[in-house]
Amino acid sequence: MSPAPKKVLALAGGVGGAKLALGLARVLPPERLTVVVNTGDDDTFHGLHVCPDLDTVMYTLAGLADPERGWGIAGDTFWTLEALGRYGAPTWFKLGDLDLATHIRRTELLRQEWALSQITQELCRRLGVKQRVAPMTDQPVRTVVVTEEREMAFQEYFVRRGSQPRIRGVRFEGAPQAAPSPQFREALAGAEAVVFCPSNPVVSIGPILAVGGVRKAIATFRGPRLAVSPIVGGQALRGPAARMLAELGEEASCVGVARRYAGLCDVMVIDETDRHQAQRIRELGMDVAVANTVMRTDEDKEALARLVCELAGL
């Protein structure tokens, strides 16, 4: 009898996470990969339930993602949003015409009392995604950004305000009371390795770790745990990760990311640019691997995923 296939649990936020998830999807058979995705960024627009990170991962694995933006659907148009604007509805969050179908369908199924994890499975199946993609939880969790002005939902801070207000903290409302989704629970119990994708450690991975029991489950996970730093040369590859870490009084570097993952991660993969930081990360009790972590092409994604799997002994 052949041994059970070694399964990988990848934790991901939006665009950066989706890139490594795609790399992993290219090197592992689909039944070996579960991608658990942040839902703290979810919000309601025009009465529709929008899950930006879940959709980014789903569209990326389905080969539908817009290659420039990383989010939304390639070639989408924005006529409906323009028409909504004529009625005075807010249009700062750019929902495309094709993308809207996802939010309409999800909202309808939620109304029929499907769990978000079931809906995600259904949408993925319909789009031909073979890997398991699951929300971190089926319960509502909202990332609240505490800024110098006032508290605001993540999309308002990130998209509407362009990450400009200085932040004092973040809160993941509902996370401690929430339970991991069934697929997340199964992967935590049965996966051979955990991979922290190169996503924002504060607002993408942070909410996942804040879900009830997750931090402890990863701290006591018996297999290898690897993280790829989303910060290269002190800059986030995308989004506000570096700025947020700095404003929270933490180091905006791969070392700052490693500090957040201390006790949760065995190996940090950092970019060639940050080779000189390796010793500082080792002092936190982690091994370090140095590689090209900037994923411009699908081959880059695949190469990084291959390295992660090798480091995990898969």
Q: Where along the sequence are the contacts to ligand FO1 (CB under 6 A)?
A: 13-15, 41, 50, 52-53, 55-56, 71-72, 93-95, 99, 155, 158-159, 204
Among residues 61, 8, 4, which one has the least CA distance to residue 34? 8
Is the Cβ of residue 55 or residue 266 nearer to ligand FO1 in the bound state?
A: 55
| Nearest residue (CB) to ligand FO1, 147 versus 277 | 147
Q: Which two tokens stand for residue 12?
A: 């991901």
Residue 13 or 198: the one with the smaller Cβ distance to ligand FO1 is: 13
Q: How far is CA 57 from CA 47, 155, 177, in A?
A: 23, 17, 25
Least separation in angstroms between residue 145's CB and ligand FO1 is 12
Q: How far apart are CA 300 and CA 151, in angstroms?
A: 38
Closest CB to ligand FO1 among residues 68, 113: 68
Least separation in angstroms between residue 298's CB and ligand FO1 is 20
3-state secondary structure of 194: strand
Q: Which two tokens stand for residue 40?
A: 């703290």
Q: Which is nearer to ligand FO1, 94 or 215 (CB)?
A: 94
- Closest contact distance (angstroms) between CB of 52 and ligand FO1 is 4
Single-letter amino acid, residue 76: D
For 254, what's the count of Cα atoms within 13 Å in the CB-facing half-sphere?
30
Residue 99 CB, nearest approach to ligand FO1 (Å): 6
Q: How far is the CB of 311 from ligand FO1 (least distance, A)?
A: 25
Q: How far is the CB of 103 from ligand FO1 (least distance, A)?
A: 8
Nearest to 229 by CA among 242, 219, 217, 220: 242
Sign of CA dihedral 13, 223, 8, 237: positive
* Cα–Cα distance for residue pair 174/109, rounded to 1 Å: 22
DSSP of 200-260: -TTTTHHHHHHSTTHHHHHHT-SS-EEEE-SEETTEESSTTHHHHHHHTTS-SSHHHHHHH
User: Please, which residue, 56 or 181, has the CB nearer to ligand FO1?
Assistant: 56
Tell me how crowded residue 190 is: count the other CB atoms within 10 A of its CB: 11
- Residue 136 or 309: the one with the smaller Cβ distance to ligand FO1 is 136
Residue placing its CB nearer to ligand FO1 in the complex, 79 or 313: 79
Nearest residue to the partner ligand FO1, using Cβ: 14
Minimum gap (Å) between residue 106 Cβ and ligand FO1? 11
Minimum Å distance from CB 37 to ligand FO1? 10
Beta bridge partners of 267: 226, 287
